[in-house]
Structure 1
Amino acid sequence: MELRHLRYFLAVAETGSLTVAAQQRLFTSQPSLSRQIRDLEDEVGAELFSRSARGVELTAAGKAFLDHARLALTQVDAAIEAARRAARPARQVFALGFLTGQEMTWLPRAMQLLRDELPNTDVTVSSHYSPDLADALARGKLDLAFLRAEPGFDLDYRVVSSEKLIVLMPSDHPLAERTAISPRDFVGEPFIMASNKARVLHDVIERYLRESGVHVSVEHGVDNLAMAMSLVASTRGLALMPEYARNLLPWSVVSRPLAGDAPSVDLVIGYSRSNASPVLKLFLSRAEELLAPLATAPH
């Protein structure tokens, strides 16, 4: 079994189509891809896909094989990245990632922790969706990220802040006259929900609405804050987002707190315990300093 077999298998599993996987993901011919999949099934000793006119679907054996195939490729990518880093010149590289929008608060604090290492370290900074950050950490593309505690990744997390959820709405919405918003106010209003890609936030919101006994009319699912703000403004809907959104709102969108005990979502620093970077080790040894400004700031 070769790595290409695993990559071909994942492409077909994720697209649900041999044709789409061949043309758009793998840039090979469909007959060639079909032969590679048959070779893999012969080696595994089980059918991994069931074929029909509608496309292909994973069999029970295929579903069992899927997670292991993903893990194997993730570990290979991490090994390649580790080897590349080891082969680089002596100057160290430290790759930081941020949940988009959080770098405004946390990048200055992170750089302060690294101040003694900066003359000898190249720090790279990127911002992405939280699941993408977790995947980059697992693959060795990032050393440390500020993100949500994403499930399904072999990572360690430390909580750095807990943010209450607030309500976003158009600036001229009737509810903008209120000082606080009750869950009952969502009834009958278009609701913009965090999508399954933003799994951690989605689950917090879903649990809050369920425990509040409120059924909302979900008009759109969003992956990120920028998309949520755009849809709030354009569809006149309501959205629940973490309170750091206040720093990023356009003139057309305002925020209001939730009445009562508002739910919260954690922001964490995440990293792979197998990462041997000395800069990461130093950062983690000073991580408590990240919270110092928060502890002394007025509320």
Structure 2
Amino acid sequence: MIDIHVRKLRQFIVVAEELHFSRAAARLYVAQQALSRQVKELEEELGATLFRRSTRSVELTAAGRALLEGARATVEAWDRAVARTTSAARAEQGVLRVGSCPAAALELTSPILRELEERLPDVEVEMREHLLTDPSAGLLDHSADVAFVRVPATLPGMEVVPLFTEPLVVSVAAGHCLAERDRVSVAEVLDEPITVSRTEDAAYRAFWQLAGFRDEAPAVLLDHTSVIEEGILVASGRAVSVTVAAAARYGGHPDLRFVPIVDAPRSTLAVALPAAEPSPLARAFLDAAVTVRDREAGLVAAIEDPEL
């Protein structure tokens, strides 16, 4: 019987996906030399060559391809087991971890938390706002039991329930040529350098750079990791940002202007939780959120159709 650490399987999967040790090491935040050593140890433990290496390329061998399918299934099964275990443990302790994108559910956040407290007064709610680099707001790494998320985003295995949608705006510096406009079209934004979150979630990243409106010409992108960093890039005039209308209410920067994009798709704010065996507390949170959404129709309407 061969015992292999899950960490080695994760590393193998990333190398197999990238077929490039430097890029894989960057994704894993490890040194390339250390990653090569881990893969070599895995090959020795299995008694099989997993990659065919040359100075120009890296390819999976037949043995590597065979391992890849099983490794993915093993890691996914392990992650599900860990998620169920930690979620059940927190539920037994009366603790609910709620992840959120920046600004959570906007003006609905407090009513939802009050509704949950009235229903479950003994439950301790731990809220954590996540950087834009993690659109799942902690769901995919199991640090959150339930989360406020912005979609589209890649959320495999998650149940996603919309609360409201918002129009998009372009955030520009006060001196920008679009700053005094009442509205703009997507076409007027496409040639601008756009700052977008530094995330591996391709669907999320594509939405905020308006990729669906572009032909073959790629966008000029400046990466950021937080709302604050995004604001600095835009206020300095180095880029513009595509964001939601609520940014005009929550942005609060004197050097920024927010102009509606009349023909852009809307952004959806949703509650997400694991579709398979969510914790009872996560399900209770979702129920409370849906109740508040349906009850506070006027508040939802003000969010969905703001006066900019």
Sort the Cα spacing of 1:56 and 1:186 in 2 relative to 1 into closer, same or farther, 3 A.
Answer: same
Sort the Cα spacing of 1:278 and 1:165 in 2 relative to 1 into closer, same or farther, 3 A.
Answer: same
Which deviates further from its counterpart, 122-131 or 142-151? 122-131
TM-score (normalised: structure 1): 0.77
Determine if the alignment matches structure 1 residue 17 to structure 2 residue 21: yes
Per-residue Cα deviation, 1:255-280 (whole angstroms, up to 9, x for no partner): 11124x33212121111122342222
Taking the aligned partners of 1:186 and 1:61, their CA distance within structure 2 comes to: 48
Report the alpha carbon displacement of residue 20 of structure 1 after superposing the two structures with TM: 5.1
Report the alpha carbon displacement of residue 154 of structure 1 after superposing the two structures with TM: 0.9
Task: Give matches, 1:131-170, under 5 Å.
Answer: 132=134, 134=136, 136-147=138-149, 148-151=151-154, 153-170=156-173
Number of residues of Structure 1 aligned to a counterpart in Structure 2 = 292
2:118 is paired with a residue whose SS is coil
Paired letter, 1:6 = L
Sort the Cα spacing of 1:79 and 1:193 in 2 relative to 1 into closer, same or farther, 3 A.
Answer: closer
Per-residue Cα deviation, 1:169-193 (whole angstroms, up to 9, x for no partner): 0012232121112334336543334
Paired letter, 1:227 = E
> Is the CA contact (8 Å cut-off) linking 1:232 and 1:239 kept in structure 2?
yes
TM-score (normalised: structure 2): 0.75
In the alignment, what sits opposite 1:111? 113
In the alignment, what sits opposite 1:2? 3
In the alignment, what sits opposite 2:213? 209
Taking the aligned partners of 2:38 and 2:188, their CA distance within structure 1 comes to: 56
2:178 is paired with a residue whose SS is helix
Report the alpha carbon displacement of residue 97 of structure 1 after superposing the two structures with TM: 0.5
Runs of 4 or more consecutive aligned structure 1 residues displaced over 4 Å after TM superposition: 11-15, 18-23, 25-33, 54-68, 84-90, 193-196, 213-217
In the alignment, what sits opposite 2:194? 191
In the alignment, what sits opposite 2:85? 83
In the alignment, what sits opposite 2:74? 72
> Is the CA contact (8 Å cut-off) linking 2:153 and 2:201 kept in structure 1?
no
1:176 is paired with a residue whose SS is coil
Give aligned-pair identity as a percent: 24
> Is the CA contact (8 Å cut-off) linking 1:75 and 1:139 kept in structure 2?
no
Which deviates further from its counterpart, 78-87 or 261-270? 78-87
1:97 is paired with a residue whose SS is strand
Sort the Cα spacing of 1:170 and 1:192 in 2 relative to 1 into closer, same or farther, 3 A.
Answer: same
Per-residue Cα deviation, 1:59-103 (whole angstroms, up to 9, x for no partner): 687577557534532432342353355557953111101012325
Which deviates further from its counterpart, 185-194 or 268-277? 185-194
Per-residue Cα deviation, 1:19-60 (whole angstroms, up to 9, x for no partner): 959993799695564132343473xxxx54231236745568
Sort the Cα spacing of 1:119 and 1:36 in 2 relative to 1 into closer, same or farther, 3 A.
Answer: same
Uncovered stretches (5+) of structure 2, i.e. residues with no partner: none
In the alignment, what sits opposite 2:254? 251
> Is the CA contact (8 Å cut-off) linking 1:74 and 1:139 kept in structure 2?
no
Sort the Cα spacing of 1:129 and 1:263 in 2 relative to 1 into closer, same or farther, 3 A.
Answer: same
1:240 is paired with a residue whose SS is strand
Paired letter, 1:2 = D
Paired letter, 2:42 = Q
> Is the CA contact (8 Å cut-off) linking 1:167 and 1:256 kept in structure 2?
yes
Report the alpha carbon displacement of residue 105 of structure 1 after superposing the two structures with TM: 3.6
Bigger helix fraction: 1
Uncovered stretches (5+) of structure 1, i.e. residues with no partner: none
In the alignment, what sits opposite 1:35? 41
Across the aligned residues of Structure 1 and Structure 2, the Cα RMSD in angstroms comes to 3.9
> Is the CA contact (8 Å cut-off) linking 1:198 and 1:223 kept in structure 2?
no
